[in-house]
Structure 1
Amino acid sequence: MTRTVYALARYSDCRAAIDFLTGAFGFRVHEAAKNDEGVVNHAELLAGDDMIMIGQGRPGGPGIYVAVEDVEAHHDRARAAGATITMELTDQPYGSREYACQDPEGNPWFFGTYRP
């Protein structure tokens, strides 16, 4: 089973975060997606051959995004194991089907089908 793991962070202002992360840390923008209002709500930043993702939302610490092959089965398994589902399975405009949850310690995890 193939899995790909991405570091993820949430920012109240993704555009400002992109400016800071590219300027301060030398990340390069791979993609920046805007919502219907023109606000950047998702970005993929490259650090060499590796990638981090940032998203628009309430800052609350980093999370982990894991691309999986069968997200529905993964969702059901996580729920059965006691994960707190914080976002039900959702089809995203960028082509991914994904969900979010918290582990028993409250750490955020995101699982979906997206592989850039």
Structure 2
Amino acid sequence: MTREPAPQVWPSLRARDARTLIRFLVEAFGFEETVVYGDEERVHHAQLAWPPGGGVMLGSAREPGADDPWPLRPGAFGAYVVTDEPDALYGRAVAAGAEVVAAPHDTDYGSRDFTVRDPEGNLWAFGTYRGEPRKA
């Protein structure tokens, strides 16, 4: 039995209110909080797992002008996440307050997709398309 390698690419984002964003991503989409390091409202590093595999990392944005080795602008992130249940996940996301960008629809490449925006303004597309197989 061959086993898939552990994720080695971690999409990362910054948030104005990282703790609120973490709660939203868990409630709206079903990410699982793996670890959150920080103090009070500031998050220095958080890792959220996507149950089928992979995940994202995030942290609090620094104040303008602060020395920032990772100066990502909050709200400028976008991701496509694979799910087997896009319609159910769409309902969950909308119930949690996600802003609808594109309701569930079938694509010309055989996927069932939808796109929403989180409270920070990041775009999240979910769908059944798993990408093309890797070349041998």
TM-score between both structures, scaled by the size of structure 1: 0.49
**Structure with more contact order per residue of length (Cα contacts < 8 Å, sep ≥ 6):** 1
Rg: which structure is higher?
2
Relative to total residues, which structure has the larger strand share, 1 or 2? Answer: 1
TM-score between both structures, scaled by the size of structure 2: 0.42
